[in-house]
Copies of this chain bind each other. A is one copy, B any other.
Amino acid sequence: MEEHSALDLLGALAQETRLRMVRYLVHCGEAGAPAGEIAREVEASSSRAAFHLAALERAGAVTSMRRSRQIVYRADLEGLGALISFLLNDCCDGHPDILACCAPRR
């Protein structure tokens, strides 16, 4: 992952509403969730939700796909994984102290 992509993705996640959206979508898994449900989950108006979902999609944190009347969003695990790998390996140089934190929790 290139630096500018990592910067876009970091910027996308560095916002409360958007971070919550991503967490929710990761939790929803393969099924994803339609925009309206996401908006309700994070307590945002439809236009605010659309604004933030568009930012997440542009940055590569989520993907979208129309399903009849709704637009279903899913977490982009490839993109998110690439960012974490960038932070871990490129940015932090695979430092052992930091790698240690990646062990499955507890």
Residues of A within 8 A of B (CB): 3, 6-7, 10-11, 13-16, 19, 22-23, 26-27, 75, 77-78, 80-85, 87-95, 97-102, 104-105
Contacts and interface: CB of A to CB of B under 8 A. Distances in A.
A83 B13 CA distance: 12
A106 B69 CA distance: 43
Contacts of A16: 3, 7
Contacts of A97: 77-78, 81
How many chain copies does the complex carry?
A: 2
A27 B93 contact: yes
Given A10-B10, A16-B3, A100 B87 contact: no
A23 B91 contact: yes
